[in-house]
């Protein structure tokens, strides 16, 4: 339906090590449109708490938010097969 994929890239890298391996955690969350605002706030609170924990561990946290809308079905095409396939996948 009217859902979006919110992809959050959480890049964590140690501050003490000069050139260390960058750890990337990716959260992919399916969000309904009515819950979009609330879930962004909840994710922001969780990530801010993680940032505080990582600061205690001398880690630097870089967060990148991207919101990708799901392909919406439009009545342009005469065939409804791609729309049905998209609905079955989600």
For residue range 28-62, what is the model confidence (pLDDT) as tens digits? 555 566 666 676 677 777 777 776 776 666 655 55
Question: Half-sphere exposure of residue 1, counting CA atoms within 13 Å on the CB side?
Answer: 5
Of the candidates 51, 53, 48, 60, which has an alpha carbon nearest to the alpha carbon of residue 23? 60
Residue ranges of alpha helices (H) inside 1-90 are: 36-56, 81-89
This model's pTM is above 0.95: no
Other C-beta atoms closer than 10 Å to the C-beta of 10 total 19
Token pair, residue 30, equals 């399916």
23/42 Cα distance (integer angstroms) = 22
């Amino acid at each position: 339906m009217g859902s979006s994929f919110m992809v959050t890239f959480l890049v964590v890298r140690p501050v003490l090590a000069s050139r260390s391996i960058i750890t990337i955690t990716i959260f992919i969350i399916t969000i309904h449109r009515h819950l979009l605002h609330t879930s962004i706030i909840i994710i922001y609170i969780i990530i801010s708490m993680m940032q505080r924990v990582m600061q205690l561990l001398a880690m630097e946290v870089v967060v990148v938010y991207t919101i990708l809308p799901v392909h919406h079905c439009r009545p342009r095409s005469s065939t409804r097969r791609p729309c049905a396939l998209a609905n079955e996948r989600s």
